[in-house]
Amino acid sequence: MLIISTMAIILITITSVVMILASLLSKKSIVDREKSSPFECGFDPKSSSRLPFSLRFFLIAVIFLIFDVEIALLLPLIILLPMTSPSTWFLVGGFFILILIIGLYHEWNQGALDWAN
């Protein structure tokens, strides 16, 4: 028990020292306007370097990621097919797909999938 507590104290001490050193050494002391501006061959920029971002595109990307993760959650059902009864397998898989279809219908009904709007 003494060895475990000693190792824990040593590890906590080492990680604390590394975190403190990293936070002290990583801070920039001087903020320069020229260094934080975009590089355009030494000339002043003609326009803003930030382009407007389409919120519609962001929403479609988030919906895609959500449905992509849910499809990845469906993949283990294939592995479970030989281990479970077919009725249980169809019930669980069908319920999960039903939730996906209801979510897709809700997004479609709310107009989140209308790209041209």
Instruction: Dump pLDDT digits (tens) for 31-64.
Output: 666 666 666 566 665 666 666 777 778 888 888 8
Domains identified in the chain, total number: 1
The answer as to whether 68 is a domain residue is: yes
Greater model confidence, 68 or 42: 68
What pLDDT, on the 0 to 100 scale, is given for residue 29?
Answer: 57
What is the distance between the alpha carbons of residues 117 and 112, in angstroms, rounded to a whole number?
9
For 75, other C-beta atoms within 10 Å of its C-beta total 8
Q: Is 50 left (phi over 0), alpha (psi -120 to 50) or beta?
A: beta
Name the average pLDDT for the chain. 81
The answer as to whether 50 is a domain residue is: no
What is the distance between the alpha carbons of residues 70 and 64, in angstroms, rounded to a whole number?
10
Overall average pLDDT of the 74-90 stretch: 88
The answer as to whether 106 is a domain residue is: yes
pTM of the predicted model as reported, rounded to 2 decimal places: 0.48
Between the CA of residue 32 and those of 24, 28, 38, 41, what are the distances in Å? 19, 10, 12, 17
Range of the domain at 69: 55-110
The answer as to whether 97 is a domain residue is: yes
- Joined together, the tokens standing for residue 95 give 């319920």
Per-residue pLDDT at 3 exceeds 80 = yes
What pLDDT, on the 0 to 100 scale, is given for residue 7?
Answer: 94
Compute the radius of gyration of the chain from its Cα atoms.
27
